[in-house]
Amino acid sequence: MSHFFSRARIVQEGLNRGELLRLAGGDAYFDHALVWRLFPGDGAARDFVFRAIRNGAGWPEFFVVSQREPAPVLGLLMVETKLYEPKLGAGDRVQFSLRANPTQVSVQTIPEDALASYNAKRSMIGKPSQGRRRKRIFHDVLMDAKKRMGHPLPIIAPRAERDACEKSADEAVRNWFLQRAQKWGLSICQRENLSSTLPEPTLDWSGYRQHRPLHRGRAIQFSSVDYEGYAEVIDPDKLTKALTTGIGRAKAFGCGLLLVRRLTD
DSSP string, 117-147: HHHHHHHHTTPPP-SSSEEEEEEEHHHHHHH
* Angle subtended by helix axes 159-178 and 141-148, to nearest 10: 140
**Could you give phi then psi for residue 153, rounded to 5 degrees?**
-75, 150
What phi and psi values does residue 195 have, to the nearest 5 degrees?
Answer: -100, 10
Inter-residue contact 101 to 256 (CB < 8 Å): yes
Cis upstream peptide for 102 (omega within 30°) = no
The per-residue pLDDT for 65 is 98
For position 116, what pLDDT does the model report?
A: 77
Q: Which domains does the chain have, with CATH numbers?
A: 3-84 (3.30.70.1200), 93-262 (3.30.70.1210)
Element (H, E) at 179: none
Write the CA distances from 93 to 88, 96, 107, 138, integer angstroms: 9, 10, 38, 33
Q: Helix, strand, coil proportions of the chain in percent (round to 5)?
A: 30, 35, 35
Give the count of alpha carbons within 13 A of 207, CB side only.
17
Stated pTM of the model: 0.84
User: CA 244, CA 242: separation in Å to the nearest integer?
Assistant: 6
Tell me how crowded residue 66 is: count the other CB atoms within 10 A of its CB.
21
Determine the Cα–Cα distance for residues 48 and 199; give it in Å rounded to an integer.
Answer: 37
In tens digits, the chain (265 residues) has pLDDT values of 789 999 999 887 777 888 777 777 778 888 898 899 999 876 778 899 999 998 777 778 999 999 999 999 888 889 999 999 999 999 999 999 999 999 988 777 777 777 777 788 778 777 887 766 677 778 888 888 888 877 776 677 788 888 888 898 899 999 999 999 999 999 999 987 656 666 788 999 999 999 887 766 677 889 999 999 999 999 999 999 999 999 999 999 999 999 999 998 6
CA–CA dist 59, 19 (Å, integer): 12
pLDDT of residue 197: 63
Task: Kindly calculate the radius of gyration of the chain based on its CA atoms and give it in whole angstroms.
Answer: 21
pLDDT of residue 80: 97
> Of 155, 169, 165, which Cα lies nearest the Cα of 223?
169
Q: What is the pLDDT of residue 180?
A: 96
